Structure 1
Amino acid sequence: MHLLVVGASGFLGAEVCRQAVAAGHRVTGTYHSNAVTAPGVAPHRLDVTDRAAVRELLTRVRPDAVVATPYRYDDWAVTADGAAHIAVAAAEVGARLVHLSSDALHAGRPKAYADEDVPTPLHPYGAAKAAAETAVRAVDPGAAVVRTSLIVGEGSKQIQLCRDALAGRATLFTDELRCPVHVADLAAAVLELVPGDYAGLLNVAGPDAVSRAELGLLVARHDGVDAGGLRTTTIAAAGLHRPGEVVLDSARAAGLLRTRLRGITELYG
């Protein structure tokens, strides 16, 4: 299979590339500013906000499938418009599309979110991810749209944030719950979806719901460091308006996929 990974220099994209190459696939990876370093990947610089450039690349490369992982937290054009450009170009060349979305499009509530729950974004990034989903599903109803949570593993921004909080350089929220997933598990799940025919929304996240502060304690235990200096607060005390309890129900993915999504307590406990 010839796989195109859009966002191959990112944390998840690089792991998807690594696993795909190891499985014997031909892999092309795109990047914008940080070069692709995964061995065995043919790199191509791409600005996903340039619709003509996206179309030209896919027409020239003609992949069997596309895994789309690009995002920029404060950039609607990359996160939303870019996703639409990729979906249109993939559809034009008949490539299978697996699009990565996020739990950031939910506002938070005590009840876990099912796969098809509609977005209720509180901030621009969540709105951009919701818009990206709408565009992808409208252009390609056969695409798989994966909603995931905090991605962890060595090199993860989430783990580094915990280490910064343990060192007094950052603060973690005690009332912001997520379902962390290891980058290797998520990449394996994504690659399972590539040759299949699953269409629509699918939650793919870890089975454990923990607060960011609890994640910090787990990282401290894993690293063997004193958690006494861990800085924590609440969303309200910080005067912020952001999603609190966002728990994804990934039961469907657990039944559908061979990949086992490990819990954060197993990984860092």
Structure 2
Amino acid sequence: MRILVTGGTGYLGSAAASQAAAAGHDVMGVSRSAAVRLDVAELAECRRVVAQVAPDVVIHTAYGQDDWRTTAEGAAHVAIAAGESGAHLVHVSSDAVFSGQAPAYDESAIPDPVNRYGAAKAAAEVAVRAVLPAATIVRTSLILGPDSFMERLVHNLAGGADGVLFADDIRCPVHRDDLAAAVLELAAERPAGMFHCGGPDAISRADIGRLIARRDGLAFDRIRIGSRASFGPGQQLDLRLDSRHTQGLLRTRLRGAREFL
């Protein structure tokens, strides 16, 4: 299978590209900083690169945290280019499309974002489904693993850096390698629709930090614990991604944070 991975130098994209290559697939990872450059915010670039690579599957992981053009418009551009080339699209989305007001969110839940990033990811989903109804959309949660943002943050805070871990910010973390394997499994099967790939443990950022500190021998008592709710209304506090349906379809097991940490 020939696979094109956008965001191929990113945290998830690089893992997906590496696993795909190890499995014997013909893989090309592209990004703004890769050897083969692609800025997904530019439709013409998307069309040119996808047409040149002629992939069987495009795995779209590229996004910009505060960049609407990359996150929202970029997804539409990748979907258009994939459709024109006849490639199947696996689009990686986020639990950030939800407000955190519901007890949990399964694949049928309607997005209700409360911040710009969540709105951009929700718009990206709408664009992908409109352009390519047969696309596979994968929503995920906080991605952990070696050198992840969260692990680096905990090490820095334990070392005296300024910052806080929230005790009321609940997510369903997933290990990067598990998520990459699940994405590749879905890419091979090419199911249409929405699939949730979060871990089974709903856990706060503070408790994640405690687990990392215990594993790595860090001074957790040096880390300041706070409340995201103290920042006022509109905060995403409890994002429980219900992934049981998708996990039942996968051979890949998505481990919980309490297991892999």
TM-score computed with the length of structure 1 as normaliser:
0.94
- 1:225 offset after TM fit, Å? 1.7
- 1:239 offset after TM fit, Å? 4.3
Three-state SS of the structure 1 residue aligned to 2:230 is coil
For 2:93, the equivalent position in structure 1 comes to 101
Give the ranges of 4+ consecutive aligned residues of structure 1 lying more than 4 Å apart after TM superposition: none
For 2:229, the equivalent position in structure 1 comes to 236
Of the structure 1 ranges 123-132 and 189-198, higher mean CA displacement relative to structure 2 is found in: 189-198
For 1:13, the equivalent position in structure 2 comes to 13
Which among 188, 212, 220 is matched to residue 227 of structure 1?
Answer: 220
- 1:66 offset after TM fit, Å? 0.4
- 1:166 offset after TM fit, Å? 2.5
CA distance in 2, matches of 1:96, 1:168: 47
- 1:132 offset after TM fit, Å? 0.2
Three-state SS of the structure 2 residue aligned to 1:244 is coil
Q: Deviations over 1:149-194 (max 9, x none)?
A: 0000011112212223323422011101001100000000000001
Three-state SS of the structure 1 residue aligned to 2:229 is coil
Q: Alignment length, in residue pairs? A: 260
- 1:195 offset after TM fit, Å? 1.6
CA distance in 2, matches of 1:69, 1:88: 16
CA distance in 2, matches of 1:178, 1:138: 29
For 1:111, the equivalent position in structure 2 comes to 103
Question: What are the residue-to-residue correspondences of 1:8-87 with 2, within 5 Å?
Answer: 8-33=8-33, 35=34, 43-87=35-79
The answer on 1:172 being equivalent to 2:168 is no
For 1:138, the equivalent position in structure 2 comes to 130
Three-state SS of the structure 2 residue aligned to 1:193 is helix
Letter in 2 for 1:89: A
- RMSD over aligned CA atoms reads 1.2
Q: Deviations over 1:69-90 (max 9, x none)?
A: 0011000000000000000110
- 1:237 offset after TM fit, Å? 2.6
- 1:227 offset after TM fit, Å? 1.4
Identity %: 50
Structure 2 unmatched ranges of 5 or more: none
CA distance in 2, matches of 1:10, 1:193: 20
For 2:147, the equivalent position in structure 1 comes to 155
Q: Deviations over 1:171-220 (max 9, x none)?
A: 01110100110000000000000121311111101100100001010111
TM-score computed with the length of structure 2 as normaliser:
0.97
- 1:59 offset after TM fit, Å? 1.2
For 2:193, the equivalent position in structure 1 comes to 200
Q: Is the 8 A contact 1:166 1:216 kept in 2?
A: no
Three-state SS of the structure 1 residue aligned to 2:74 is helix
- 1:110 offset after TM fit, Å? 5.0
